[in-house]
Amino acid sequence: MKSMQLLLSLIGREVSDPVPIKEERLKAIKNLISESETAAFVNVGRTEEQFTITHNFDEQLVKELVAIIGREHLAGHTNEPVITLGDKSYLWDVASENGATIVYARETALLDAALYTVAKRLFITTVIVFWIAVWLALTLSSIIAKRADEINEALTRLATHDSLTGLPNSFYLKELLAHFANTHKDSGPSNQACLFAIDLDKFKDVNDAFGHSAGDQLLITLSYRISAILDKPCELIRIGGDEFIIWAPGFSVEEGKALAKKVINACDTTIPLNGLEVNTGASVGFSHYPSHTDNLESLLSCADTAMYKAKKQRSGWEVYDVQNRISNERDIMLRAELNNAMLEKQLILHFQPKVDIRTGAITGVEGLCRWQHPSLGLLSPYHFIDLIEHSGKVQDFGRYIIQSAMQHASDWRKENMNIPIAINLSPYNLLDPTLATYISQLLREFNLPPSAIEIELTENETCINIAHINSALSDIRDLGVEIAIDDFGTGMSSLAYLDNLKANTIKIDKSFISDIDTNRGHRAIVASALTLADTFECKVLAEGVETQSQVDTLLSLGCFYAQGYFYAKPMCERDLKHYIQTTLVQAV
């Protein structure tokens, strides 16, 4: 087909001159069509003349073909330029050049004709396919662009939101504070804000005990509960782990206090996890812009400082003040040194005697932890127990104290001091699934009888139900280790404790003892506790005894065991041995 078009183009050049075609041009056209071995002809028609040049073609056949080609051309049948006459086929084409109509035809084999037809159809198909491809490309481009926008939007949300809770994240908070700083530069009621730092109490221990999926569910549930109490424009933000932020633009300090109370109440409800009712609670601290700081970047640090004070004082929530920062800086330092303190055995035990008030005999001692800090000196538990509990080291610390107590008990027995040592554990220590196995292993290692130690369980901070506590304690009781309930009467579950835990001793909290000789109500409570203890066949020990009058009142009520400054303050091992030398000792 291309060769025919080229030939037509060449012929067109030869006839382009409007004057009658000269002999040499006719000869040139003759040469063009005679180059092919097959029969061919050219018919040129224009206003002033018409002529036909043939090559191996019958004149009558030429006339017949010109007539047929003319009809086909006028009918627009140019897609199939093949004419069959008899047993022969002819390819044809028509071109117009400068007012001249040029008809060219040549004899061809059937295969050539078929190939020519196919080639022409393929060309048309190619054009159609090309435009379809263009349309598809444009459509696909539109789809890809739309999908890219969706992906970009998803990536933006992923960058600024927490995948677990769906809440905004720390990156979002940074942008939020930057936007606030740029749009609220003037002073006025609308240009103030409160920022709240929220940390879930005991979350790590619950997470370790019940698994990460349960911990995730706890975070999701609490995020829903906190979000439900917030009105716009307040926003809840998760910055990582169990730490959340509330951004409250336009809030005054007084409005901040009211919101802090609502957050505490929202978090202070039980959540069912793995068949148990879990309540981690929360500590909240908040700071105010611009009264506490006019630097938005330090606003979070101020809120964190207040939150750590709330944790330390177990007050639920606190508002920032300058003294918070001084205290928090020391807490941060101590928290960083905790691991080293246990490794270097800076955490030591002091001992406070338990006394039979009828005879003055020592019936045991309570091991109380102290931190012999290399630069700060001897620190009481007030300065570091909360740091331990909120740093996720509760289990490590519990095992450290148990081992330390057994080491002392073993050393004393070699000196014929058969005095049991009581160890304080919180319910969170009971989340350690191998605690009983660990205690049993240490008893064998130090060659101690189970009576050498006693477990004192604090009652006032129970985040897990009594059924779980009883289950965890059953293995310890099976070892022969005695159980005591510490600070009895300060929590809401004392009677349930007695009924379920089968304690050997209850220790009445010092708040009932401090004025027992003058407060009839407290005397009645102690008397009732003694009656209950008698029913459950357990001993009663009064904590915080400081005066002879209190001792006399306790004796009159039938309470025969006491502990407090009236007898001795907590003391180091050396002072305890000296105290024992001057006191009647009741061997166990």
| Sequence spans of domains, the chain | 2-108, 170-320, 346-581
Catalytic residue from among 23, 318, 543, 573: 543
CATH 3.30.450 fits 2-108, yes or no: yes
Neighbouring residues of 50: CB distance < 8 A, sequence distance ≥ 6: 43, 44
Check if 543 is active-site.
yes
Give the CATH number of domain 170-320; options: 3.30.70.270, 3.30.565.10, 3.40.50.1820, 3.10.129.10: 3.30.70.270
Query: Which residue from 433, 424, 437 is spatially nearest to 487, judged by alpha carbons?
Result: 424
Neighbouring residues of 583: CB distance < 8 A, sequence distance ≥ 6: 353, 360, 361, 362
Beta strand 49-55 pairing with 82-85: unpaired
Query: What is the model's pTM?
Result: 0.58
Query: Which residue from 169, 46, 171, 58 is spatially nearest to 105, judged by alpha carbons?
Result: 58
CA distances from 434 to 125, 143, 274 (A): 78, 58, 19
- Domain 346-581 sits in CATH at 3.20.20.450
- Tell me the C-alpha distance between 61 and 364, whole Å: 135
Are the C-beta atoms of 192 and 289 separated by less than 8 Å? yes
CA distances from 446 to 179, 206, 318, 410, 439 (A): 63, 31, 46, 6, 11
Residue with tokens 């289990």: 395
148-152 CB contacts, 8 Å cutoff, 24+ apart: none
Residue with tokens 């009159």: 556
Count the Cβ atoms, other than its own, within 10 Å of residue 525: 17
Helix (H) or strand (E) holding 145: helix 110-160
Residue with tokens 């051309």: 73
In terms of Cβ atoms closer than 10 Å to its own Cβ (0-12, 13-18, 19+), residue 306 is buried
Task: Give pLDDT, residue 463.
Answer: 47
Task: Give pLDDT, residue 214.
Answer: 83
Residue type at position 96: S
Q: What is the CB-side half-sphere exposure of residue 62 using CA atoms within 13 A? A: 17
Which residues share a beta bridge with 284? 198, 317
Can you read off the two tokens belonging to residue 519?
């407060």
In terms of Cβ atoms closer than 10 Å to its own Cβ (0-12, 13-18, 19+), residue 382 is exposed
Asked if the domains at 170-320 and 346-581 fall in one CATH topology, the answer is no
Can you read off the two tokens belonging to residue 16?
């382009």
DSSP 557-587: HT--EEESTTT---B-HHHHHHHHHTS-B--
Are the C-beta atoms of 289 and 187 separated by less than 8 Å? no
DSSP 408-440: HHHHHHHTT----EEEEE-GGGGG-TTHHHHHH
Task: Give pLDDT, residue 577.
Answer: 92
Helices 203-210 + 394-414 axis angle, to 10: 90
Task: Give pLDDT, residue 422.
Answer: 96
The greatest distance separating any two alpha carbons of the chain, rounded to the nearest whole angstrom, comes to 154
Q: Which conformational region is residue 274 in: left (phi greater than 0), alpha (psi within -120 to 50 degrees), or beta?
A: left
Helices 435-445 + 466-478 axis angle, to 10: 20
By three-state DSSP, how is residue 449 classified? coil
- Tell me the C-alpha distance between 365 and 420, whole Å: 6
Beta strand 561-563 pairing with 539-543: parallel
Query: Which residue from 527, 526, 462, 528 is spatially nearest to 500, judged by alpha carbons?
Result: 462
By three-state DSSP, how is residue 32 classified? helix
Can you read off the two tokens belonging to residue 576?
């305890």
Cα angle 158-197-331, degrees, rounded to a multiple of 5: 120
Mean pLDDT, consecutive 10-residue stretches, the chain (588 aa), reads 61 62 68 73 75 78 79 68 77 76 76 54 74 80 70 64 87 88 72 92 76 85 92 90 91 93 88 75 91 83 86 84 70 82 93 94 95 92 80 85 96 93 87 89 96 83 60 88 85 60 88 91 92 90 95 95 95 93 58
